[in-house]
Structure 1
Amino acid sequence: AESTPEEFLSILQVLRDRGALVDTFTKKRIHRKQLPITADDTLLVVGDHDTMTKAFQMLGVPFEKETSVSGGGVDKLKRKKRILSRDILPSDCYPPPLQKYMGRSFYETTQTMLLEEVKMKGGLRMFVKPKNEVKKFTGRVITTLYDVQSLPSDTYLYVCDCVHFMSEFRFFVQSGCVIGIQCYKGDPCLQSKLNMVIIKKAIDDLESSPYKTAAYALDFGLVSHTYKSEDSVTTDYKDVDSLFDTLLVEWNDAYSLGSYGFSSQHYTDMLIARWQEVARHVQHISQQN
């Protein structure tokens, strides 16, 4: 989930209370490049995912070329498209250091390849979401050929085992430390059942990898201990002393995520920290050139 208008208003109030000079703008202005956005870490832009993508372009985040899907499988890709550098703006919702905490099998594919798989198997029940273009569509369960045909044909997909999360919690992380936890689905009283040892280990693994950022959110969910995945990637998530397993739902970058009632003060601090990190990256690249 992205930030909502109410969250934008709360950030606006926090910044004004701190004495910051704040102005609002329309999407039209940023799409027309009418805002003075530069690689200045004293500046901050706040908006939805599309707005922030435009802001990062204006900030000077470099583009890289990615081979995109073009009417075939992974081995038949033809077209190149420009995307914002993933060294600065990682977009994989299942970054490699965290994949062992998912507790379910998954694989990368394309719509064309998935269509062939469904035709061959006569149907399947799987959860599908975009791999990198995270706002391309909302993750969903697919069961029919029509479901697959409704997916975009020009992006990579993650296909995962379906898992019933009894409750889901967002962990807000800044500088490697958890600064808040919010339940966004299910029973918040189940928070005490989360295996914090597993969650801390996941954060430590991410923080010691090239995929870490200054601020981000990790979503974890509780699954009944009776859940079994036929092809689980790992058993690291197993908690033999609990009725539940603590599994990773996904990773989200801090610059555009829902707060679910999290402290507006800390939420604003996360946005500032992430913007400053991106601005410093751009400054460093400019100095090298």
Structure 2
Amino acid sequence: MFQIAYIESRGNGPLGEEETRVVGELQRRGVAMKFFTRKQIDRRRLPLDERSFVMGAMPAMLGAIRQLGTEVPPPNDYPRVLRDLLRREVWQSTLGEIEQRIWDDRQQPVFVKPAERIKTFTGRVFESNADLYFLGSASRRQKVWCSQVVKWRSEFRAYVIGTQVVALDPYDGDAQLVPCARTIAEAVRAFRDSGEAPAAYAIDFGVLADGRTALIEVNDGYALGAYRIAAAPYTDLLLARWAELLAGRRVPAREAALPAG
């Protein structure tokens, strides 16, 4: 059980939406908290140990993980066991190769996003050389994920602790067009059975133009954005994944959560 929570802040600025939810929930549970800035993490000014819960943006979380001597988990956006649910071609490349592809007018548009944890540009569809502007000065050696462009009618995020979907939030498209619940449940079980699933994570699904439910991507639970998910399950999700990272073993979600008070 964690004895103190360290929450990233923007100095004198307001807390982010996710941080605000977690702070309110931890206060309700009577958990001690301290706020920190990115600079403090970079300089290793926080007295972190196995009793410390840390919440913040990806750069801060990576700094905390390294300070604690825990291995940074590699991204697993498209788990091998779930590839059949992509319903589209997905492959890995480099920005340099994609730049050459885009200059070739005979090639079809392609969706491109960073393959590393720290995002140097926002994933988007590249249709022509005019779109190269959005890459800025990002290294052309950078690894990226590429995918065939498809039409999404809706996009949802399933928040998962263990094998339980604790929230399903729409974030783009038609919010009334919900992905197949059975497909999501079977994907969650298959991911867990593969041995690759973290204790808590988000798995995004959407509905394609032809009506099929398809996997969009998977996001690890230690630095995860919140849509409509309530504060309590969102906090439990972050706690479960952080506990697993610190313990170096699979831990039941109920062991990772702080007391509800």
- Give the alignment's TM-score, normalised by structure 1: 0.75
Task: Report the counterpart of residue 61 of structure 2 in structure 1.
Answer: 52
- Match for 1:187 among 152, 174, 193? 174
> Following the alignment from structure 2 to structure 1, what is the Cα–Cα distance between the partners of residues 199 and 192?
9
Q: Give the structure 1 partner of residue 239 of structure 2.
A: 272
* Residue identity in the other structure for 2:31: A
CA contact (8 A) 1:182 1:261 kept: yes
Q: Distance in 2 between matches of 1:90 and 1:198?
A: 25
Partners in 2 of 1:118 and 1:203 — Cα distance? 35
> Which of 213, 221, 244 is the equivalent residue of 1:246?
213
**2:225 aligned to 258, 271, 276, which one?**
258
The aligned residue for residue 234 of structure 1 is none
1:220 maps to what in 2?
A: 205
What letter matches 1:126 in structure 2? V
1: CA distance, partners of 2:84 / 2:132: 27
Aligned pairs, number: 232
Matches within 5 A, 1:228-239: none
- The one-letter code matched in structure 1 to 2:127 is T
1:182 to partner: Cα distance: 0.8
Secondary structure of the structure 2 residue equivalent to 1:255 = coil
1:138-217 matched pairs, under 5 angstroms: 138-148=122-132, 150=135, 152-191=139-178, 194-217=179-202
CA contact (8 A) 1:90 1:211 kept: no
Q: Give the alignment's TM-score, normalised by structure 2.
A: 0.83
Matches of 2:243 and 2:42 in 1, distance apart?
22
In structure 2, C-alpha distance between the alignment counterparts of 1:118 and 1:186, rounded to whole Å: 27
Letter in 2 for 1:169: F
Which consecutive unaligned segments of at least 5 residues does structure 1 have?
A: 63-83, 226-243, 283-289
Whether the 8 Å contact between 2:105 and 2:128 is mirrored in structure 1 is: no
Alignment of 1:10 onto 2:10: no
* Deviation (angstroms), 1:153: 1.4
Counterpart amino acid of residue 260 in structure 1: Y
Q: Secondary structure at the match of 2:54?
A: coil
Query: Structure 1 pair 163/106, CA: closer, same or farther in 2 (3 Å)?
Result: same
Distance in 2, Cα, partners of 1:21 & 1:32 = 23
More contact order relative to length (CA 8 Å, sep ≥ 6): 1
- Counterpart residue identity of residue 212, structure 2: D
Report the secondary structure of 2:35's partner residue: coil
Task: Give secondary structure in 2 for the equivalent of 1:166.
Answer: strand
Matched, 1:20 2:20: no
Cα distance, 1:101 vs structure 2: 0.7
Note if contact 2:58-2:118 (Cα within 8 Å) is conserved in structure 1. no
Give the aligned partner of residue 103 of structure 1.
87
The within-5 A match list for 1:129-140 is 129-133=113-117, 135-140=119-124
The amino acid across from 2:152 in the alignment is F
Do the aligned partners of residues 106 and 5 (structure 1) sit closer, same or farther apart at CA in structure 2, a change above 3 Å counting? same
CA deviations over 1:77-97 (Å, ceiling 9, x no partner): xxxxxxx3xxxx131211212
Unaligned runs of 5+ in 2: 1-14, 250-261
Q: Hey, what's the Cα distance between the residues in 2 that align with 1:254 and 1:139?
A: 20
CA distance in 2, matches of 1:121, 1:175: 46
Confirm or deny: 8 A CA contact 2:157 2:204 kept in the other structure. yes
Looking at structure 2, the residues matched to 197 and 12 of structure 1 have their Cα atoms a distance apart, in angstroms, of 34
Write the distance in 2 (CA, Å) between the matches of 1:189 and 1:117. Answer: 37
